[in-house]
Structure 1
């Protein structure tokens, strides 16, 4: 179930961030899973273990925000010129 949520969050995050054409399905899954971990960590750091963020919709939104943050960070680092 979490892989499906991560894949969906990664795909929607790539659509929001405008990177969908450059990524494949596997990259969307990986970014979604990493985004879910980053979003979950940030959520617990700021909000604690709140029951409202443990719902399916709450988990998806946190994974989506985390995916967008991971994509933004990747775009920032990869476009840096040496």
Structure 2
């Protein structure tokens, strides 16, 4: 059950990050889920120790962990855009 919730939340966070980074038209639902989940893992390893709280991948769904996971998804999309296009946008 925790995996299903993480996939749903990852999809929503990936979708919101793609709207912020203006890549929503280029991604489908599957890529939004992938970006959200990988961004959450990236944030869990890199940002959570600095900002505190528990990573969303451990099942903590509070506002701080959701925000940090969203930041991780935005950073992931910025890195992908930088490699693909040479600019963050």
TM over 0.5: yes
| Residue 35 of structure 2 is aligned to residue 28 of structure 1 | no
* TM-score normalized with structure 1 length: 0.83
**Which runs of 5 or more residues in structure 2 are unaligned?**
none
Partner in structure 2 of residue 45 of structure 1: 49
**Which runs of 5 or more residues in structure 1 are unaligned?**
none
Aligned residue for 2:82, secondary structure, equals helix
Structure with more relative contact order (C-alpha pairs < 8 Å, separation 6 or more): 1
State the Cα RMSD in Å: 1.8
Aligned residue for 2:47, secondary structure, equals helix
Q: How many residues align?
A: 78
Q: Where does structure 1 differ by over 3 angstroms across 4 or more consecutive aligned residues?
A: none
1:58 is aligned, of 38, 59, 64, to 64
User: Quick one: distance in 1 between partners of 2:49 and 2:65?
Assistant: 15
